[in-house]
Structure 1
């Protein structure tokens, strides 16, 4: 059996879809469906069972719970970078992850988990997997950083595979339930359809309007990395998962406009509440991923947005 936590979420549901395409159906999907809109992500997926996160956490305390688990893809977390209830974030992102990690070690199951590029903070120290680059600037980032730190202590002693993936700006299918936390590609698409305008933040941190840069990575590429590690159980560690390219928000908006063959860019004031806790630049150092042996190329923004909108707008029209 394979377990996917956060399996009804964005990356989790795409992982299950890819596993299904491989013929894998013996999958336990763990999530919290308080947001029932997430059911649209999983209605077409084949799984063996669904379990609520609360019940799952109770079950893993039982020695008899699932003796033959090949791997756990731990994607479940509070992903809101604007959440400042530290107790809530640490309970959901840190404590939960620790308990599941130790359960996997006991069961000798592979443990692949979602970390985040947010651990690099404003990026002034670079985006290399290393303590000197890690300066989280919000609670979500801190929770991911602190779990990575915990994993670093466990790695040398563990006989099972442990791999953490620092996702950069992931976009693609099955993210619509995230609301305000959905990707800019998703929001720009809706805005161009409804208003003929893509709304971008005005310049900040000395940058021109819309020239903030992120490493935008298509969700299918993220899934490929996860499955590659499943196929290579000898690989372990913490890895950046991005394209290795920094592209502007203007580039994303223009890719959306080009797909629709209409629309324009409008710049809006930079939000006050994001000042001081916003990443104006990210670019993954993927040398660790390459050294591990991963050779697949990553889609550019133009390629990924085009593929995404083909699917997104086709589904909306049905």
Structure 2
């Protein structure tokens, strides 16, 4: 049996579908569904039970044997200013779930984030430049630090994956927190220009397709290693390049340059790129979807979904 927290969310639902493609349907989905639209991410998915987030820690002992927990549930709103809520959701709950898994010796693979890194102009390695610019990044780093403290005593694998800019099917419910590809698709569908922030030629991020994130998760699920690893492509591309790729899919749609909101500017990472040295040392050889191919396939998938 496998537990996926945040299982109706973006990456969690892709993990559920990915497990199904491997012939696994002995899956327990954990989520809150306060945003009811997330249930659409699980259309066609096979799983045996559902638990609310507030139920799973008390219930997990009775569900054994559990083969692994993929902990993807989190508040991912990078502009959230309620630090107490962010820490309770991303740190305290994660800590309590982790310790229950350690007690039961259940492998624990969780979502960290490249938001733990601050500013810089070189690829980020796991132990460097850990100076988050917002409370979301701080909540993720706090949990990573806790994991580092207990890792030597853990009798079962614990893996943290620092996701870079993930895009792909299953993020419609994320609204303003969805990838630029998703937001531009909605702008084009509404007959509006595609928006890019002023300076996007110089803002470069490591964009990774969600299918690759699933592959990296499964890599560690199969190998039972422990540690904190970056999960990015190792290549930084500008938002201007990404916007141009999206516009190309719409026959050269117009792009409008807009000002960045002042409240976002102080906590905005203008550069991210994954140093994949540790990931490569773990034996990962899955490769990554090229941005050109990922954008094309994603927009095709969204167009197909709209026609259904």
Structure 1 position 66, deviation (Å) = 1.8
Write the distance in 1 (CA, Å) between the matches of 2:186 and 2:204. Answer: 21
Q: Is 1:220 matched up with 2:181? A: no
Are the equivalent residues in 1 in contact too, given 2:123–2:234 (CA < 8 A)? Answer: no
CA contact (8 A) 2:57 2:100 kept: no
Residue 312 (structure 1) aligned to one of 296, 302, 305: 302
Within 1, Cα distance between the matches of 2:220 and 2:123?
25
Distance in 2, matches of 1:269 and 1:43, equals 37
Contact 2:194 2:256 in 1 (8 A): yes
Distance 1:136 1:273 in 2: 16
2:170 to 171, 174, 181: 174
Partner residue of 1:78 out of 75, 78, 81:
75
Once the 2 structures are TM-superposed, how far is the Cα of residue 126 of structure 1 from its aligned partner?
5.2
Q: Distance in 1 between matches of 2:132 and 2:259?
A: 25
For structure 2, the residue ranges without an aligned partner over 5 or more in a row are none
Query: 2:122·2:273 contact (CA, 8 Å) conserved in 1?
Result: no
Count residues with an aligned counterpart: 308
Q: Normalising to structure 1: TM-score of the pair?
A: 0.94
Question: C-alpha distance in 1, partners of 2:265/2:221?
Answer: 39
- Structure 2 equivalent of residue 28 of structure 1: 28
Question: What is the CA–CA distance in structure 2 between the aligned matches of 1:218 and 1:33, rounded to whole Å?
Answer: 24
Query: Does the 8 A contact of 1:196 with 1:263 survive in 2?
Result: no
Q: Which deviations, in whole Å up to 9, do the C-alpha atoms of 1:145-176 show, x marking residues without a partner?
A: 01000000111111211110000000000100
- TM-score, normalised by the number of residues in structure 2: 0.97
Q: Look up the match of 2:274.
A: 284
Q: What secondary structure, in the 3-state scheme, does the structure 2 residue paired with 1:250 have?
A: helix
- TM-superposed deviation, 1:193: 3.0
Matched residue SS, 1:195: coil
Gaps of 5+ in 1: 204-208
Correspondences of 1:236-315 after superposition (within 5 Å): 236-315=226-305
Distance 1:149 1:251, change over 3 A: same
RMSD: 1.3
1:194: Cα distance to partner?
2.6
Pairing partner for 1:104 from 101, 105, 127: 101
1:129 is aligned, of 126, 130, 145, to 126
After superposing on structure 2, the runs of 4+ consecutive aligned residues of structure 1 that deviate more than 4 Å are none
Which residue of structure 2 aligns with residue 92 of structure 1? 89
Cα contact 1:121–1:134 (8 A) shared by 2 = yes
- Is 1:230 equivalent to 2:221 in the alignment? yes
Equivalent residue, structure 1, for 2:137: 141
Residue 11 of structure 1 is matched in structure 2 by 11
Query: Aligned-pair distance for 1:293?
Result: 0.3
**Residue 215 of structure 1 contacts residue 246 of structure 1 at CA under 8 Å; is this kept in 2?**
yes
Tell me which moved more, 121-130 or 93-102: 121-130
Structure 1 contact 8–39 (Cα < 8 Å) conserved = yes
CA distance in 2, matches of 1:262, 1:120: 34
Q: Does 1:66 align with 2:63?
A: yes
The alignment partner of 2:63 has SS state of: coil
How do 1:39-50 and structure 2 match up within 5 A? 39-50=39-50
The offset of 1:262, in angstroms, is 3.0
1:137 deviates by 1.4
